[in-house]
């Protein structure tokens, strides 16, 4: 008999997200699972649970609802203070996003508000966002810094992420995004020297990934290569903000460096898409940010043709996507871009997990995986994007424990 300290029963459809020839979602009808010490130890037909599992712990009855793995959000910016709601109103009236990234506006404005806040305040704000992620079914996030932009304040952002991971049940994978923009009033060359000679070496024990924004408002291709090349030499895994606002070399750099992800990609070319697929990089698309900035549709057909894995992310940030709802992003990808429900489900689970080096642990349900799952009030897993902007999550389970709102 298999010993367990948590079990879930009576899932009308339990999507493992382990594709089979007959089902891309690898679902089990009338499914059940059992976990011990935060990991799945058994999964199968509900009728077999009692004969194969000894439960000494909590039992959750899904009561005929659907169950899928906890969602994985591969692009978020959760450590920030302040609001930019007025900039949202400006864009609705026709102001372009890139026109807001000048002087003390845009990202620079968030940097100022974040620097002016103490660790306690930033942690409270980020923890509230963490709980909204969980309430909407996300159990793992990639979490970027990038609103501190000096040694002291970037360190503080990483400390906030550490505390959020301790205080909430959300799994937090930290990314150092010192190469977000050059902070206002700072000499460009001096900032790049500090970034490469001070911050990157200092933060390697804290952050798994290093990211850079390769775009006109941020860093040139040469600067991005220098920063990310230095990061890779120090042992960071690489992510790249690329080709969101205009064509550029960001996707090429991601492919050259074997980045785990290239993000946004609205203006990526077919040749760049092929290069990313060959490099084993994941395309992380951000439908909510694309929606509010009225960006062009990413080259979805080229990605499909190249068999480039596509992840779907919320891109939670104060400027263009102030939303912790990955299901909303999934809906937008279907409605705005013509992606299928199966594609966005895979994108918010197994492909996102792959970009975070969490294959077999997050974004799927199998023996040995994290016991992270969500119980959803929907006819089938594919129906989740159909409920646009409506949270249909009944229960979120993280590490074999049912999450309760604080």
What is the pLDDT at residue 89? 75
DSSP, collapsed to helix, strand or coil, labels residue 284 as strand
Q: Are the beta carbons of 352 and 72 closer than 8 angstroms?
A: yes
Q: Going by DSSP bridges, is the β-strand pair 261-264/282-285 parallel, antiparallel, or unpaired?
A: parallel
What is the pLDDT at residue 26? 98
Q: Going by DSSP bridges, is the β-strand pair 27-36/39-45 parallel, antiparallel, or unpaired?
A: antiparallel
Domain boundaries of the chain, sorted by first residue: 2-69+364-402, 71-355
Determine the Cα–Cα distance for residues 365 and 401; give it in Å rounded to an integer: 15
Q: Are the beta carbons of 201 and 234 closer than 8 angstroms?
A: yes
What is the pLDDT at residue 257? 98
Q: Are the beta carbons of 348 and 326 closer than 8 angstroms?
A: yes
**Token match 């002087």: residue?**
103
> Residue 152 burial by CB count (10 A; 0-12/13-18/19+): exposed, middle or buried?
exposed
Percentages helix, strand, coil for the chain (3-state, rounded to 5) are 40, 25, 35
Determine the Cα–Cα distance for residues 126 and 268; give it in Å rounded to an integer: 32
Determine the Cα–Cα distance for residues 87 and 273; give it in Å rounded to an integer: 32
Q: Running DSSP on this structure, what letter comes out for residue 3?
A: E
CATH classification code of 71-355: 3.20.20.140
Give the tokens for residue 238. Answer: 């690489």
303: left (phi over 0), alpha (psi -120 to 50) or beta: alpha
What is the pLDDT at residue 316? 98
Give the tokens for residue 14. Answer: 């339990």
What is the pLDDT at residue 162? 98
- State the DSSP string of 7-46: EEEEEEEEE----BTTBTT-EEEEEEEEEETTEEEEEEEG
Q: Are the beta carbons of 176 and 234 closer than 8 angstroms?
A: no
**Token match 């060359």: residue?**
189
Q: Considering only the top CATH level, what class is 2-69+364-402?
A: mainly beta
Give the tokens for residue 70. Answer: 């906890």
Backbone angles phi, psi at 380, to 5 degrees: -160, 165
Q: Are the beta carbons of 234 and 265 closer than 8 angstroms?
A: no
Backbone angles phi, psi at 178, to 5 degrees: -65, -25
Determine the Cα–Cα distance for residues 348 and 65; give it in Å rounded to an integer: 19
pTM of the predicted model over 0.75: yes
Reading the chain (406 residues) residue by residue, the pLDDT tens digits are: 999 999 999 999 999 999 999 999 999 999 999 999 999 999 999 999 999 999 999 999 999 999 999 999 999 999 999 988 788 777 777 767 665 566 676 788 999 999 999 999 999 999 999 999 999 999 999 999 999 999 999 999 999 999 999 999 999 999 999 999 999 899 999 999 999 999 999 999 999 999 999 998 899 999 999 999 999 999 999 999 999 999 999 999 999 999 999 999 999 999 999 999 999 999 999 999 999 999 999 999 999 999 999 999 999 999 999 999 999 999 999 999 999 999 999 999 999 999 999 999 999 999 999 999 999 999 999 999 999 999 999 999 999 999 987 6
Nearest CA among 150, 110, 149 for reference residue 316: 110
């Amino acid at each position: 008999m298999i010993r367990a300290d948590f079990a879930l029963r009576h899932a009308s459809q339990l999507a493992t997200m382990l594709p089979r020839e007959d089902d891309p979602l690898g679902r089990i009808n009338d499914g059940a699972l059992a976990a011990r010490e935060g990991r799945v130890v058994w999964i199968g037909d509900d009728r077999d649970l009692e004969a194969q599992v000894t439960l000494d712990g909590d039992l959750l009855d899904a009561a005929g609802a659907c169950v899928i793995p906890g969602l994985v959000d591969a692009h978020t910016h959760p450590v920030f203070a302040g609001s930019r709601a007025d900039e949202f109103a400006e864009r609705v009236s026709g102001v372009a996003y890139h026109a807001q990234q000048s002087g003390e506006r845009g990202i620079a404005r968030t940097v100022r508000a974040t620097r002016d806040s103490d660790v306690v305040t930033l942690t409270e704000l980020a923890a509230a966002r963490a709980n909204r992620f969980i309430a909407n079914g996300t159990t793992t996030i990639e979490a970027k810094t990038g609103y501190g932009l000096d040694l002291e304040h970037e360190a503080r952002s990483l400390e906030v992420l550490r505390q959020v991971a301790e205080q909430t049940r959300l799994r937090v994978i930290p990314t150092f995004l010192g190469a977000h923009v050059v902070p206002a009033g700072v000499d460009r060359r001096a900032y790049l020297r500090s970034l490469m000679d001070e911050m990157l070496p200092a933060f390697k024990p804290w952050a798994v990934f290093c990211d850079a924004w390769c775009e006109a408002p941020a860093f040139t291709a040469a600067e991005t290569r220098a920063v990310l090349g230095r990061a890779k030499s120090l042992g960071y895994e690489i992510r790249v903000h690329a080709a969101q606002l205009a064509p550029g070399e960001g996707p090429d750099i991601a492919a050259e460096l074997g980045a785990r992800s290239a993000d946004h990609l609205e203006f990526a070319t077919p040749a760049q898409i092929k290069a990313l697929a060959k490099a084993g990089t994941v395309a992380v698309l951000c439908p909510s940010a694309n929606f509010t900035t009225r960006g062009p549709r990413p080259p979805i057909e080229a990605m499909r043709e190249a068999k480039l894995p596509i992840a779907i992310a919320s891109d939670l940030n104060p400027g263009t996507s102030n939303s912790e709802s990955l299901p909303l992003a999934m809906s937008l990808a279907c409605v705005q871009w013509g992606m299928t429900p199966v594609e966005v489900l895979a994108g918010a689970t197994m492909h996102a997990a792959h970009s975070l080096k969490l294959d077999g642990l997050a974004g799927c349900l199998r023996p040995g995986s994290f016991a992270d799952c969500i119980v959803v009030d929907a006819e089938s897993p594919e129906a989740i994007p159909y409920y646009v902007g409506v949270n249909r999550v009944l229960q979120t389970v993280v590490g074999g424990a049912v999450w309760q709102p604080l």
